[in-house]
Amino acid sequence: MALFGAPELAAADEAPTFALEEAVVRAQAGERLRARSATSATLTDTPLKDVPQSVGVVTRAALDDFGATRLDTALDWVSGISRQNNLGGIADNFAIRGFAGDLNTGSDYLVNGFSANRANSVPVDTINIARIDVLKGPSAALYGRSDPGGIVNIVTRTPQFKPSREITLAAGSHDRYRLATELTGPLSERFAYRLGVAAENNHSFRDFSTSRRYAIAPSFTWLPTDDTVVTYAFEAAQLKAPFDRGVVAINKQLGALPNSRFLGEPGDGDTTVRTQSHQLTVEHQLGSGWKVDAGLSYRTSHLFGKSSDASRLLDDGRTLWRQARERDYRANDLAGRVDVQGDVTSGPVKHTLVAGADFYDFRYDTVMYRANPSASAPYAIDIFDPVYGQPRPAMRLNSSTRESQRGFGAFVQDQVTLTPHWKLLAGVRADRFLQHADNRLTGVRVAQQQTAYSPRLGLVYQPTQTLSLYANTSRSFRPNTGVGAQGNAFAPERGRGYEVGAKLETADGRFGGTLALYSIDKANVLTGDPRDPAFQRTAGAVRSRGVELDVSGQLTPSLKVLGTYAYTDARVTADTVLPSGAPLSNIPRHSASVLGLYEFGAGSLGRAGVGGGVIYVGERAGNSTDNGFKLPAYATVRLNGYVQPTRALRLSLTIDNLFDKRYYASSYNELWVAPGAERQVTLAATYTF
């Protein structure tokens, strides 16, 4: 196992071996499109066919083959994941099986098992990613607080003792330019380094929208003994871009405005998001099949900038009142984790045991200035004939809060091989959560503490070596922040899921798939308090039921394929404001994707490949009020290909949205709708030396 789904020293499909002579050479050679194991699922190196849970994996090979440079693109290739409100274009935000996380900060995700988005974060570049594991269904038994739809865990790349150097230059539509480099190798017999750097400048299809982003990720590995691996990893990332709420719908209808129309103020300048993270991990082999893993993570983030956000569209259907805002959000997040694992055999029964504990200490300071529009000061713009450069209205301090959270958790898990055909997984976790919130504007201070228990139980039956049938049930929790009308703290959200499914793979593991059926309920969802509309209470409940299919792998020696389908029925089951049965926003009933790449010899051009794919997203509710506003279904087509005239040089072409389909990726409401990107052509050259 790599630490908590930690950075991988070995190939994605193989278990790490820490004897020096092997650990230094196993790098990324042999990576395949289809992963056969994912340590994130159990914290152990367990084949996916033995895990009683649907687990989606996007390997490094898939990212490279299909040209994904951003996390949101890669997640389009996993069933049951849908894009959510993108927070003005500055965040990755997605839902898994209908559950979307925090509307204000985006979806929770992990990096090497540690939370990476408790506050704000730069949209993730793939330069530092070894693989993306998506655990479907409640996963709190291992990772604590989380939504019941599932968890995304990003496993980062680590230093290799086999030298490798690579640089990529890319240019594309809308004056998009990208530089990426990947360097790794030994510093001595027991020290290795890695440096990943990506920088991008993109003028976008949106008016007045130029974004600049970078990520830099140095890391070092030290092997003090043949049984111990110590890795330190640093990552700094930054995004500078206008805060862009997108376009508006008129009378709930989209399409009257060009998708390029910007409704903010160019003079607001950029919103900046910066993050820095440090991770230190230690893995030590104790002998006799036992080992201990430990890790520390420290992460900071800072978001600041001005924006002019759509607030109200008047009855004339063209005059848009806007709200002026200025944000300054800062956060720091310290976390630690340790676990011990090993094997115990009792007669014919084998136990793989894991026990561990973790903690986090999170601080979040937010300040917002705001000017609300009025008839006397509308700060308006004509959406059909915009005139920019209006004087910015005087703003007042709207909110100033300081929140601190501390959490402590302990867990135990047992994977039991009962017979060659039957495998059992059982685990439980206990969490203690403490929160303090200080409203510096009103002087109100709130404190609360909660305890949660999260069990997990699953069973696998394998009638043959290539077929696994499984079932599981598990629970999750997620703390609710804030207070009710009586000053009471809210109970945490509680989730419970049931899942049955089948996994089939070829004997060599190169092609396979997972079919899953699930039902998930979440209770204690915050909803409006009918006795006092200014407050909320925990009276809401939602349910998601669905079917998912994922297939991937090597169909022939020349043909690679990824395919997904999801049917998701996610609805409100109880609420004081919304009617029972109201659909959850941005969740399509039907979604699917298919990608393929055919590789062949090209004579004097060396090696070549040509491929493409289609992504389909069905109609979705466009907001959370169930007022009939819908985002229409869409399908986009992409083409990609490459030629590799020498071992060192690879030239590639990618065309996204080949037919320039006009579509809408997500929304928050009728006034904040994110249009999908126009056709994007990208040429890239990669040189390995």
Nearest to 355 by CA among 340, 342, 344: 340
**Which DSSP category does 490 fall into?**
P
Buried b (16+ CB within 10 A) or exposed e, 606-628: eebbbbbbebbbbebbbbbebee
Give the C-alpha separation, 676 to 525, whole Å: 30
Residue 635: in which H helix or E strand, if any?
strand 634-644
Residue 142: in which H helix or E strand, if any?
helix 140-143
Give the C-alpha separation, 450 to 498, whole Å: 25
Residue 6 lies in a domain: no
Residue 447: CATH number of its domain: 2.40.170.20
Give the C-alpha separation, 408 to 428, whole Å: 14
Residue 15 lies in a domain: no
At 557-611, the pLDDT tens digits run 999 999 999 999 999 998 877 788 989 999 999 999 999 999 998 777 789 999 9
Question: Helix or strand or coil: residue 141?
Answer: helix
Domain count across the chain: 1
CB 460 within 8 A of CB 415: no
Residue 12 lies in a domain: no
Phi/psi of residue 187, nearest 5 degrees: -100, -25
Nearest to 435 by CA among 420, 456, 450: 450
**Which DSSP category does 25 fall into?**
T
Give the C-alpha separation, 480 to 653, whole Å: 46
Which domain range does residue 26 map to? Answer: 20-688
Place of tokens 């092609």: 511
Question: Helix or strand or coil: residue 600?
Answer: strand
Bridge partners, residue 565, by sequence: 549, 592
pLDDT for position 625: 78
At 29-69, the pLDDT tens digits run 334 888 989 899 999 999 999 999 999 999 999 999 999 99
Nearest to 34 by CA among 159, 126, 131, 160: 131
Question: Helix or strand or coil: residue 253?
Answer: strand
Residue 10 lies in a domain: no
Q: How is residue 38 written in tokens?
A: 């994912």
Dihedral sign for Cα 478, 479, 483, 485, please: positive
Residue 514 lies in a domain: yes
Residue 14 lies in a domain: no
Give the C-alpha separation, 245 to 82, whole Å: 19
Residue 410 lies in a domain: yes
> Who's near 449: CB < 8 A, 6+ residues apart?
432, 433, 434, 435
For 667, how many CA atoms within 13 A lie in the half-sphere containing its CB? 29
pLDDT for position 248: 98
pLDDT for position 130: 97
Give the C-alpha separation, 179 to 548, whole Å: 36
Give the C-alpha separation, 608 to 626, whole Å: 49
Residue 2 lies in a domain: no
Give the C-alpha separation, 463 to 458, whole Å: 17
pLDDT < 70 positions in the chain: 1-31, 106, 482-489, 528-535, 539
pLDDT for position 14: 31
Residue 350: in which H helix or E strand, if any?
strand 349-371
Nearest to 550 by CA among 498, 591, 496, 584: 591
